[in-house]
Amino acid sequence: MKLRIHVSELLGKKKWTQKDLAERTGIRPATISALYHETVKRIETDHIVALCEAFECQPGDIFTYEKE
């Protein structure tokens, strides 16, 4: 089972940098980097809300489940 995190794709669509996203969401740059590289081990619900607000999307647009 793999949870895919689509932050890198969403940043590309918006033409934002990781720094831009950190400033817009208030999420630490190190956490944004871990999301971008899909190495994050857990995520706070407040961060999910902040990402949804920044990207103007739903959680399902950021995260998808893939069966291995």
Please give the pLDDT value at position 13.
Answer: 96
pTM of the model: 0.91
The domain tally of the chain equals 1
Q: What is the pLDDT along the chain (68 residues), one digit of tens a residue?
A: 699 999 999 999 999 999 999 999 999 999 999 999 999 999 999 999 999 999 999 999 999 999 87
In one-letter notation, the amino acid at residue 36 is Y
CATH code of the domain containing 55 = 1.10.260.40
Q: Report yes or no: 48 and 61 within 8 Å, Cβ to Cβ.
A: no
Please give the pLDDT value at position 68.
Answer: 77
Q: Return d(Cα 44, Cα 35) in angstroms, integer.
A: 12
* Domain coverage including residue 25: 2-66
Please give the pLDDT value at position 1.
Answer: 60
Angle between helices 7-14 and 29-36 (to 10 degrees): 100
